[in-house]
Amino acid sequence: MTGAGQSASLPPAVVHLDLDGARHIFRAHGWRYDGTEDPLFESGLRGALDLFARAGLRATLFVVAEDVEDARKLALIRDAADAGHEIASHSVTHHLLTDMDRSTKQHEISRSRSVLTDTLGVDVRGFRAPYFRRDPECLELIGEAGYAYDSSEMAGRNRQPREPYRPLPGQPLFELPLPALSRLALPFHPSYSLMIGQWYFKAGLAAYRRRPAPFVLLFHLTDFADPVPRAWARTWRQRLFTLSHLTARDKRARCGAMLDWVRQHFTVGTTAQLIDEVRREASHP
């Protein structure tokens, strides 16, 4: 499977960035966030965009739609869109969808797409469920909202497919699986590998490469951000889950190395290219 500008000798890869800021991370764990601003979001997005610019790639940014109400965050998201990065949805509020009734799920899924489209003037084609948790009803609503793809599923777990596929029979929606291997205790995307060590990412990548499939390199803002001030991240768990025990310089260097390893074995393109190629292949089996 190859997309525009992709080498036929290497499988394709795409780069994703989830825009969970400190407020969303703290809220997910039930912690109080005392900051009036979100320096993790701002420094993380700036650091990521700098790496992507130096690497000459266009990533897909999964945006929590309520963040466009913050003028400082919106300015950075606009900068990313203007630089050619794709904008996708990470729901309205980043709450767990599987705990919601149907109408609330629909609001989180459909409203997030319309808000991002109207505010940024871009075509929002992708969705990722908060915490990678979605159920069949969510999938149905994602398809109804007009998304081209969902990317919430971990490949390799419970025999889930590794290749993009249509999760709803007869519907145009595609699932773009995230890399995970059942024999590894945790996913090996950069956030975990920054905690565990570079060897963990290398091991996961090597195992994934044995059965070539499109690869999603999933970053989070924590992977590039300055440490959260100790006045806000007081406990070791708060510092661990925001990766505040590491310097931004160290994290960015290690993320750059992980990107380099991916580019040795995959051809990095855009998610739009990949999904369009998958759609063409599905229409001409």
Angle at the Cα of 108 (from 241 to 86), degrees rounded to 5?
A: 70
Q: Which domains does the chain have, with CATH numbers?
A: 15-283 (3.20.20.370)
The beta strands (E) that lie in the chain are given as 12-18, 60-63, 86-89, 126-127, 149-150, 174-175, 215-220, 267-268
Q: Are 275 and 60 in contact (CB under 8 A)?
A: no
Residue 271 is predicted with a pLDDT of 98
What's the rounded Cα separation, in Å, for the pair 285 and 281? 6
Q: What tens digit of pLDDT does each residue of 177-227 get?
A: 998 765 666 889 999 999 999 999 999 999 888 887 899 999 999 999 999
CA atoms within 13 A on the CB side of 125: 18
Per-residue H/E/C for 159-221: HCCCCCECCCCCCCCEECCECCCCCCCCCCCHHHHHHHCHHHHHHHHHHHHCCCCCEEEEEEH
* pTM of structure: 0.94
**Number of other CB atoms surrounding residue 235 within 10 Å:** 9
Residue 9 is predicted with a pLDDT of 85
Residue 3 is predicted with a pLDDT of 40
Spell out the per-residue pLDDT of the chain, length 285, in tens: 334 344 458 999 999 999 999 999 999 999 999 888 999 999 999 999 999 999 999 999 999 999 999 999 999 999 999 999 999 999 999 999 999 999 999 999 999 999 999 999 999 999 999 999 999 999 999 999 999 999 999 876 656 778 999 999 989 999 999 987 656 668 899 999 999 999 999 999 998 888 878 999 999 999 999 999 998 999 999 999 999 999 999 999 999 999 999 999 999 999 999 999 999 988 876
Q: What tens digit of pLDDT does each residue of 86-108 get?
A: 999 999 999 999 999 999 999 99
What's the rounded Cα separation, in Å, for the pair 222 and 45? 9
Residue 2 is predicted with a pLDDT of 37
Residue 193 is predicted with a pLDDT of 96
What's the rounded Cα separation, in Å, for the pair 283 and 263? 29
